[in-house]
Chain A
């Protein structure tokens, strides 16, 4: 999602993983990602995005979801996955961010 690099936006990537390696990778790619660890999936559960036993070893995982939140903390764009094969098109996310205005 490097298309978002110049948009003046903070990307927070959330998973149960400890994310040291992901963060190193993001720095190498200069992608404006911060990786947050939701170790017990408490936030994922509170957001209603828990896919119970959805991991490849039957672990609980998050339903892949992308949320654009404006400066006032309001959800302005949302995509929830119905299939693990599908991810949002970064140009759609970038467009949603641009439409927020400044």
Chain B
């Protein structure tokens, strides 16, 4: 088993990158650099690839296969699925925010103008469908 420590290291690195992504989801400094998990998968693939080159045994192939699949899926998610296209926003720093009135959770109408001269407002547009 000791001969397969690079394969084991590769698998552990891949798994800890996945675990770390969820553990640190609430830490902005980590969450906002999602490419970190791709770097971990890539390092895991290089380690497993070197181990396979050195000794073509099944544990090395498993580690190589796992890290390669994670690298491809992770890359597809990060660079394709998670992308948000640019939108022609009308918002400009230094210009007024367009007014609106929308119902709150209780159905009561809330207008942006009602906060004027009272408190600053932070608008958070989110995707919903939780």
Binding site for B on A (CB under 8 A): 1, 4, 7-20, 22-23, 33-38, 43-44, 46-51, 54-57, 59, 61-78, 80-91, 93, 97, 100
Q: How far is the CA of A7 from the CA of B82 in the complex (A)?
A: 32
Chain B minimum-CB-distance residue to A83: B82
Chain B interface (Cβ within 8 Å of chain A)? 28-29, 31-32, 34, 78, 82-100, 102-106, 110, 112-113, 115-130
Q: How many Cβ-Cβ contacts under 8 Å join chain A to chain B?
A: 207
Contact assessment for B32 and A20 in the assembled complex, using a CB-CB cutoff below 8 Å: no
A51-B85, A82-B83 known; A46-B122 Cβ under 8 A: no
14 new A-B contacts, CB < 8 A, other than A33-B124, A37-B103, are A4-B122, A8-B120, A9-B120, A10-B119, A14-B125, A15-B128, A23-B106, A34-B105, A35-B105, A50-B87, A66-B125, A78-B92, A85-B34, A87-B28
